[in-house]
Structure 1
């Protein structure tokens, strides 16, 4: 289980699952797997979903619950718990959202693909931190904290996009019942330290499942249930729940989602025949994120800096963070499926664009992170003073 809680191994598993899905989709095994993914499970007339939809609407809600718990912690007790701490990564995150949208629109303007503009805005936290862990030995802690903060803010925007842009025909009654479920869940979670811990824990699971069911029935994307429950839960029980669920999310939920999302046949066409959706995403993820995060981050990290003081992060480190931000995967894949749900061709090319763009960003990030890590290790060996931003100075004090 400790391996599945590390930064490195889950990233490898996620990439392998996506690669296997892509290979299966383009071999003779595709038809059999496609039939299996469309087998329906559940209670007829109530919740009769295909395996594919159980993964994307059910299991992925658990992933969003874990993300929401981390959001709650960072916003209340972590690196985003004050306006001062949040401002700099927020500006960098804004650049990492606005510039990819601009790049995508330049490719897709005037076509049916333009509705996919939210797809290249997301950063996969687990994957980005995994690459940082593999290639970043010797980097200052400030870079990891900066990346974590802007990726979390990225996730907040992604969650808002899912909730606002891809919700149609809302059943207000069901949504109201879901809201009641969230409130009850939050109240119950604050009673877990009493002697009746086990019955309350069982009740929490029941309320969580019912809340998910109400959200699903309301027409809002079911993963939003995980977000709402994670934000509503009392912090200490939420952190314990996150710790217990993390290996399952890293080892089962995300690989299953990556596998199912990557079951896309590569079209037998020349590059010139690929849709703007593909090119917009494939370019916007690695290039748009790199430019947006590094430039906006450079400006942000100099706002409010005392005259003559060293910048919190060198620009070269911001370039590495920008490249890491271009690794979209999980949330970008989900946004691609939602944005083009009514057009199978555009959806498949958007998913291929996410995979291609994320792989390019992964290679770029690996190189840039390795170069920066080698730079800091050389400085350490030569006895030069290591980079000291606010995080390191506070630790020394």
Structure 2
């Protein structure tokens, strides 16, 4: 009975840990953080909530202060780490993943383009000639964590090919959003700092070309690049993406003969049986016997070899992923999603609400469907196997979940607090509607699908 309970506990623990590590949990955690922000912002703690983000954090020497407000630390510094991970993902996908080669990349990349142009045009057409026209980039973005989290919750009701398509589309969308931020949300340029940033970029490329695999010099130059771009007038998170593109993707040691090496060490591990484990003893006795020093050395050799054949890009991405998913993005959501709806909010400021909500809910699926339909008819690229046009529409609906990146663009687009609050509420409404109708639509599509005998 004791052993059964122990096995059950281990099983439940593994299920819980697997769920925590899954992409869907990242989206759920992000949603919880946003809801919590709204609750706190409309509670008796609201004054403390809003004042906290404006507290300066840094150090002073003499008359000079070096640092930022907590809000800027989150939005400019921590989010740079998020953009670094996004840049690493994009580079990996372009070189070896679903964006590698024209045939693979064309369809999702074109879908992402349509999913950015139409929402942007809807917003701009509604706000042209007003002070709010600059927010056209807000409904262009897709939140990869939220969208993937929602589609993963649908399980087997959607084909795996659709999940891959949505992820690839979101990655291409991220690249598009980065370009939009760099081009359209840049203030007056400082030429001196821009030249300095250019010199640092050349040094990063040089390190890559001469085969430096140690991450430390890249990260040091990356910090200097962040400062240079921050002072140049371009948003500093672009520095993280540039850094990501210069991180080497080839490992320190070749993967050649790795399988043979592992097989040899595995044989050594089996031979080096602890002295207190008899050959004819029960299997459970062998399993609980302590490892010998020789066996530990074998395991350490395998660990060292695995590290040596893992690329610097892969190591850095693996290190950043949990921090990004479970700390940076939820913290960003908690710091930015809180809007006090008890205050008088002017929803009639220009057409921000209509522009953002219609851009996300209507513009995304229309843009993604029509541009990919035209793309296939013109034989530029074709749909991935196993995905119907109905699935493309459903993916377009889920792509309307713009949360994190949309919030980020909103901070850049509006300097007036009222406009920013209205845009954030609009993002929450549009993303929520997109998620709900996307799930309902894909559920109905699954039920209408002819059952195979």
- Residue correspondence of structure 1 range 238-387 to structure 2 within 5 A: 238-266=313-341, 273=348, 275-304=350-379, 313-341=387-415, 343-374=416-447, 379=451, 382-383=452-453
Deviation, 1:274, is 5.6
CA contact 2:347–2:353 (8 Å) conserved in 1? no
SS at match of 2:79: helix
1:166 to 171, 185, 188: 185
2:144 to 101, 119, 125: 125
1:139 to 119, 138, 158: 158
Larger radius of gyration: 2
CA deviations on 1:140-194 (whole Å, 9 max, x unpaired) are 232122212222221112111111111122222223333333343455467565x
Match of 2:56 in 1: 40
CA distance in 2, matches of 1:293, 1:237: 34
CA distance in 1, matches of 2:397, 2:359: 11
TM-score of the aligned structures, taking structure 1 as reference length: 0.86
Match of 2:101 in 1: 82
Give unmatched runs, 5+ long, in structure 2.
Answer: 1-16, 250-310
SS at match of 2:150: helix
CA contact 1:122–1:154 (8 Å) conserved in 2? yes
CA distance in 1, matches of 2:74, 2:47: 19
CA contact 1:337–1:351 (8 Å) conserved in 2? no
Q: Which 10-residue stretch deviates more, 21-30 or 280-289?
A: 21-30
CA deviations on 1:337-371 (whole Å, 9 max, x unpaired) are 11112x11111111111111011111112212333
Match of 1:207 in 2: 221
Deviation, 1:220, is 1.3
Deviation, 1:97, is 1.4
CA distance in 2, matches of 1:2, 1:178: 41
* 2:243 aligned with 1:229: yes
CA contact 1:293–1:322 (8 Å) conserved in 2? yes
CA distance in 1, matches of 2:186, 2:18: 37
Deviation, 1:72, is 0.6
CA deviations on 1:252-280 (whole Å, 9 max, x unpaired) are 00011111111222265699746411221
1:58 to 59, 65, 77: 77
Deviation, 1:217, is 2.0
Give unmatched runs, 5+ long, in structure 1.
Answer: 194-199, 384-397
TM-score of the aligned structures, taking structure 2 as reference length: 0.76
CA distance in 1, matches of 2:158, 2:107: 19
SS at match of 2:372: helix
CA contact 1:119–1:335 (8 Å) conserved in 2? yes
CA distance in 2, matches of 1:211, 1:310: 39
Match of 2:302 in 1: none
SS at match of 1:365: helix
SS at match of 2:156: coil
CA deviations on 1:278-307 (whole Å, 9 max, x unpaired) are 221022111111211122222323442899
- Are the structure 2 counterparts of residues 310 and 147 from structure 1 closer, same or farther at C-alpha, using a change threshold of 3 Å? closer
* 2:68 aligned with 1:68: no
CA distance in 1, matches of 2:384, 2:357: 35
Q: Which 10-residue stretch deviates more, 226-235 or 289-298?
A: 289-298
CA contact 1:301–1:312 (8 Å) conserved in 2? no
CA distance in 1, matches of 2:424, 2:49: 18
Match of 2:194 in 1: 175
CA deviations on 1:86-130 (whole Å, 9 max, x unpaired) are 222232222211221232134323322222111100011121111
CA contact 2:103–2:381 (8 Å) conserved in 1? no
CA distance in 2, matches of 1:201, 1:368: 45
Q: Which 10-residue stretch deviates more, 170-179 or 229-238?
A: 170-179
CA deviations on 1:18-64 (whole Å, 9 max, x unpaired) are 11112222222111122221111124436320000000000000111
- Are the structure 2 counterparts of residues 5 and 243 from structure 1 closer, same or farther at C-alpha, using a change threshold of 3 Å? farther
